[in-house]
Amino acid sequence: MKRRRYLRGAGAAGLVGLAGCLGGAGGGGETPTGTGTPTGMATPTGATTGTDMPGGTLTIATYASFTGKGTAGTWLKGQFEAEHPGVTVSFVTPENGVNQYIQRAKQGAPIDADLYVGVNTGELVRADRELDASLFAPVESQLDRASTVKPNLRIDPKGRAIPYDTGYISLVYDAHQVDAPGTFDALLTPAYENALITENAQQSDTGRAFLLWTVIAKGENGYLDYWSSLVDNGVKVLSDWEPAYNAWLDGEAPIVVSYSTDQVYYHGQGVDLQKHQVGFLDGQGYANPEAMALFADSPNADLGRRFMDFALRPDAQAGIAVRNVEFPAVEGVDPGPEFTKYAFEPPKPVTFTYDQLAGHLSGWVDAWARQIATK
Amino acid sequence: MTAATRRAERLALPAGLALTLGVLLVVFYFPVGRVLAEAVVRAGRLTLGPLLAVLRDPFYTGAAAGLLRDPLGVPAGVLGWLRAGAPPPRLGLFGFTAYQAALSTLASVALGLPGAYLLARYEFRGRATLRSLTILPFVLPSIMVAVGFLAMFGQRGTLNDVLRGLGLGPVHLLFTLQVIVLAHAFYNAPLVTRLVSAAWETVDRRRLEAARSLGASPAAAFRDVVLPAVRPALLTAALLTFLFTFMSFPIVLALGGLRLATVEVWLYARVQDLRLGEAATLATIETAFTLGLTYVYLRYEARQAASRAGGEPPARRPLFDGWATLRDPRRLGLLAYGAVVIVVFVGPLVSLLVESVTGPGGGFTTAYYHFLADQQLAAAAGTVKPLPAIRNSLVFGVGTLLVAVPMGVVVSLVATRGGRGSRLAEALLSAPLAVSGIVVGLGLLQSFVFGTTVFGVRLVLVGPVAIVAAHAVAAYPFVARNVTPALADLDPRLAEAARSLGATRLRSLTDVELPLVAGALLAGAAFAFAISLGEFSATVVLAEGVKSVTMPVALERYIGNRSIGPSLGPATAMGTVLLLVTAVSFVAIDRLGGRWAP
């Protein structure tokens, strides 16, 4: 597809290295202003060209859409294998994601994978809640580049899960029909009656992020009242992102809870960007970092850590961002002007840390779901 | 016939029963039992606490929670309720789930029954093809139904376009209970049509003529001859519809939203959060209800006097009869029904086809089919390719038929044998109908994919054989449900005569009884094939990588694929392929099968 090629071109441009564009987009907390340009952007040095490296297979468990034609996973595999002769990267994509490995560990079944790519904070909390021994090994102190990850994305105090990219959950709205609400409270006004579609926090990443965002905005003791008013104003809570976004595209409501990268998919000739406006609330957007983690019993721990360091390299970060349509997790990486122009970072990114979610997440989600579904 | 052959034939049925039970034990009872056992175990101890806690919680059981919480307060509660003017009682999650399932069943019967009448009693061009196509909704993944419904019944959908053109106001159907009931009818009315029309076609013309010649009015003849013949099929269809819609899950949230959540939605959320004990508690209550209902139904069915079907069906009337068509109220009624069918069934299906060639801007595009071709030609590992998915679906479908049809027939024999406990046995053997697909998938994951240690060896069972076994277990109850009433209706003297002439039980079955119920057998086999084509939750658990993906699994992977933008376009293209492959398969099955049927 044309759009696809376009983006790929943008990815190559990222190698030239225009630092600082991204971090400065929203006037956010950590503007690198050029200083953050890591060395070695133009040349994939890393210098890990396999001399000290035994061959072998690195098995990466991930979600299905990370692999296959034209994806970040396939691209990473090609790059990593080219730099590490004798190494093969293979992907497994269990339907139930990281739950599969939590359950395997619980039952004493073999893990059969070295790395998990795509774990988020909530899943990490769940894994620790379910298991006595940690599913993942601490790696942060052993990675050369872990310190380059943006501080506000570092989700794991135990240094196991290392973010490689992040999405910002925001509103996406049709400006022909509504103005940007701007604040959480505005969504309760008659102007936004029946205007919002979101997703079920019990099963959808975006839906959960939006719910947690309301917990941040309205407080642990206030979010349920807020939702009660939201329901009175006609919010729709659909199963998952795809049906919700599809209903929004078909005009069932003018606003949907989605990603702040929405326009990256739509810019180009003849596209009406007014229909794809990104709206933050109270100046915030909820960061949903995706992280990678090394399984505690991986027999290829060294190779796994090399892959993680590789994925944090600026060229790899730009490549992931463009192909996964998510923001880089590392400071000062530039995925290219096209991405930067159409992907918006919230002025005030917010997210719950591991410590804040542990012990609370299930309770918050349950209370919310019960309130919505009570009949 | 040699003695050895006879001995083999005599052993065939007991061996078949043993094999059926073996497959069920391994693929169903063990994995499902393992999941459900969690319901009554907390911290290594047996307890009924969690079950009672759910039953006492008004969120789950509504007003009925009071029965368990405060039995002595019930009379006062009822009095207070009456004084308040008997408002609708609080339903709770279970009550609401049953309520929407009951409404969905009524709607499915109302929309399916005229179709059965039309297909059984009228002749028109394309009747056989239309009949074959009634299976299509059955195999469609729910997200595709959601896409079709949105395009047909949404604010900017076709229906509202037409209504606006006629100067009528738009209807707001989405996110309502009505649209869920309609979507359930979309799935299940074809089930009613297929099952009932198969039974209707076995009504003996001579009995009908005899009734009329004895002075019975057409209505009385219908009541006394036709109704008893179609009632078992109708009730079976209604039961299946109720069970399916009781355990319906993705379509509820995709079209209705969380406010209209069902038990299955809650069950899934518990599984997602790995609170498997809570999930098992909900699943156990759900299964106790669905299985109990199945048992009660089977008791009822067995008490019905057999109607002795068989014989020559009455000739079909032509549907169109020149201008006289417009004077015949029945034909006019059928034409009106046709209009409803176009809106409810054809509309969403055609909308899906249209969506698969419509770009984000509304213009024509072939991009989504190019996407499929690109995936097919891609070299990258992990790419889900459409052609192997089609091949796998067909191979698994045929495999399912080969396993499920004998299993279903064996179960039917058990069910019609009579005697003590045979209803209970039948109900237990029908359990795959009554257990949530989420629970089956979880059980297969824990037992097959993670492996089970037997005598110190970890056995892992995934891939094609496991998939076919899981499909067969999901499918055989359909064969049994179709064949059992038909076998029960057969004159037992037929089989007795064959046996007294020296035929073994197997011979009597294959040479005498099964040919007489070929229609029912074929209807069951068709459903078995359709179940396999549409099955998702077990397949996705048991598929090894991208090697053994089927069409619904490929479709689901394309939903998550954003390589050409956040669009369901690629999935709709794959959905169209799924519909075409299914349509061609079923036209072929019905044509081929039609040659064997009497």
Question: What pLDDT score does A134 carry?
Answer: 97
Contact criterion met (CB below 8 Å) for A84 and A139: no
Question: What pLDDT score does B454 carry?
Answer: 86
Instruction: Give the pLDDT band of residue A16 (cuts 50, 70, 90).
Output: very low
**Interval B91-109 mean pLDDT:** 97
Residue A371 sits at the chain B interface (C-beta within 8 Å): no
Percent of chain A with pLDDT over 90: 82
Question: What pLDDT score does A11 carry?
Answer: 33
Tell me the residues of chain A between 165 and 184 that have a Cβ less than 8 Å away from chain B: none
Report residue B15 as tokens.
């061996």
Question: Residue B303 class from Cβ within 10 Å (0-12 exposed, 13-18 middle, 19+ buried)?
Answer: exposed
* Secondary structure (3-state) at A71: coil
Long-range CB pairs of B319-322 (<8 Å, 24+ gap) are: B319/B118, B319/B122, B319/B123, B319/B124, B320/B124
Lowest-confidence pick of A354-363, B374-383, B402-411: B374-383
Q: What's the mean per-residue pLDDT of chain A?
A: 87
Residues of chain B in contact with residue A109, where contact means CB-CB under 8 angstroms, are 450-451, 458
How far from chain centre, in Å, is Cα B168?
A: 36
Pairing outcome for strands B452-454 and B457-459: antiparallel
Percent of chain A with pLDDT over 70: 86
Instruction: Name the more confident of A8 and B516.
Output: B516
pTM of the entire predicted model: 0.91
Using the predicted structure, report yes or no on whether residue A10 has a pLDDT greater than 60.
no
**Interval A80-87 mean pLDDT:** 96
Tell me the pLDDT tens digit for each residue of A202-243: 999 999 999 999 999 999 999 999 999 999 999 999 999 999
Residues of chain A in contact with residue B544, where contact means CB-CB under 8 angstroms, are none
Residue A270 sits at the chain B interface (C-beta within 8 Å): yes
Tell me the pLDDT tens digit for each residue of B129-173: 999 999 999 899 998 999 999 999 999 899 999 999 999 888 999
Among all residues of chain B, which has the CA nearest to that of A101? B450
Number of CB atoms found within 10 A of residue B454's CB: 8
Nearest to A122 by CA among A354, A368, A367: A354
Q: Which amino acid is at B303?
A: R
Contact criterion met (CB below 8 Å) for B228 and B203: no
Residues of chain B in contact with residue A65, where contact means CB-CB under 8 angstroms, are 557, 560-562
Dihedral Cα B319, B322, B324, B327, nearest 10 deg: 70
Question: What pLDDT score does A8 carry?
Answer: 33
**Measured distance CA(A21)–CA(A337) in Å, rounded:** 8
Instruction: Give the pLDDT band of residue B455 (cuts 50, 70, 90).
Output: confident
Report residue B126 as tokens.
């394309």
Question: What pLDDT score does A42 carry?
Answer: 38
Question: What pLDDT score does A33 carry?
Answer: 36
Length of chain B: 598
The answer to whether the CB atoms of A69 and B374 lie below 8 A apart is: yes
3-state helix, strand, coil in chain B (%, to 5): 75, 5, 20
Tell me the pLDDT tens digit for each residue of B161-212: 999 999 988 899 999 999 999 999 999 999 999 989 988 887 878 888 888 8
Question: What pLDDT score does A52 carry?
Answer: 57
**Measured distance CA(A244)–CA(B389) in Å, rounded:** 27
Tell me the residues of chain B between 344 and 383 that have a Cβ less than 8 Å away from chain A: 360-361, 367, 370-371, 374-375, 378, 380-383
Question: What pLDDT score does B594 carry?
Answer: 66
**Measured distance CA(B143)–CA(B575) in Å, rounded:** 10
The answer to whether the CB atoms of B254 and A77 lie below 8 A apart is: no
Residue A130 sits at the chain B interface (C-beta within 8 Å): yes
Nearest to B319 by CA among B141, B95, B120, B89: B120
- Residues in contact with B427: Cβ distance below 8 Å, sequence separation at least 6, in sequence order: B291, B294, B295, B298
**Measured distance CA(B445)–CA(B460) in Å, rounded:** 10
Q: What's the mean per-residue pLDDT of chain B?
A: 90
Using the predicted structure, report yes or no on whether residue A257 has a pLDDT greater than 90.
yes
Instruction: Name the more confident of B49 and B597.
Output: B49
Question: What pLDDT score does B73 carry?
Answer: 87
Instruction: Give the pLDDT band of residue B303 (cuts 50, 70, 90).
Output: confident
Percent of chain B with pLDDT over 90: 59
Residue B90 sits at the chain A interface (C-beta within 8 Å): yes
Instruction: Give the pLDDT band of residue B522 (cuts 50, 70, 90).
Output: confident
**Interval B277-299 mean pLDDT:** 94
Instruction: Give the pLDDT band of residue B81 (cuts 50, 70, 90).
Output: confident
Number of CB atoms found within 10 A of residue B273's CB: 21
Contact criterion met (CB below 8 Å) for B158 and B350: no
**Measured distance CA(B521)–CA(B261) in Å, rounded:** 36
Interface test with A, best of B253, B267, B438 (most A CBs within 10 A): B253
Phi-psi region of A137 (alpha: psi -120 to 50; beta: other; left: phi over 0): beta
Contact criterion met (CB below 8 Å) for A98 and A127: yes
Residue A109 sits at the chain B interface (C-beta within 8 Å): yes
Instruction: Give the pLDDT band of residue B307 (cuts 50, 70, 90).
Output: low
Dihedral Cα B146, B150, B151, B155, nearest 10 deg: 180
Residue B544 sits at the chain A interface (C-beta within 8 Å): no
Nearest to A238 by CA among B270, B250, B104, B177: B250
Residue A250 sits at the chain B interface (C-beta within 8 Å): yes
* Terminal Cα distance for chain A, rounded: 47
Q: Which amino acid is at B201?
A: E
What string of DSSP letters covers A84-151? STTEEEEEE--TTTHHHHHHHHHHT-----SEEEEE-HHHHHHHHHH-SS-SEE--GGG-SSGGGB-G
Contact criterion met (CB below 8 Å) for A65 and B561: yes
Which H helix or E strand runs over A196?
Answer: strand A196-199
Using the predicted structure, report yes or no on whether residue A45 has a pLDDT greater than 50.
no
Instruction: Name the more confident of A137 and B231.
Output: A137
What string of DSSP letters covers B313-353? PPPPEES-BTBGGGG-HHHHHHHHHHHHHIIIIIHHHHHHH
Lowest-confidence pick of A1-15, A267-281, B243-257, B374-388: A1-15
Contact criterion met (CB below 8 Å) for B189 and B115: yes
- In this prediction the ipTM stands at 0.92
Question: What pLDDT score does B552 carry?
Answer: 95
Residue A221 sits at the chain B interface (C-beta within 8 Å): no
Using the predicted structure, report yes or no on whether residue A83 has a pLDDT greater than 50.
yes
**Measured distance CA(B174)–CA(B252) in Å, rounded:** 11
Instruction: Give the pLDDT band of residue A21 (cuts 50, 70, 90).
Output: very low
Using the predicted structure, report yes or no on whether residue A180 has a pLDDT greater than 80.
yes
How far CA B387 is from CA of B158, B399, B554, B570, B578, in Å, comes to 32, 18, 10, 14, 11
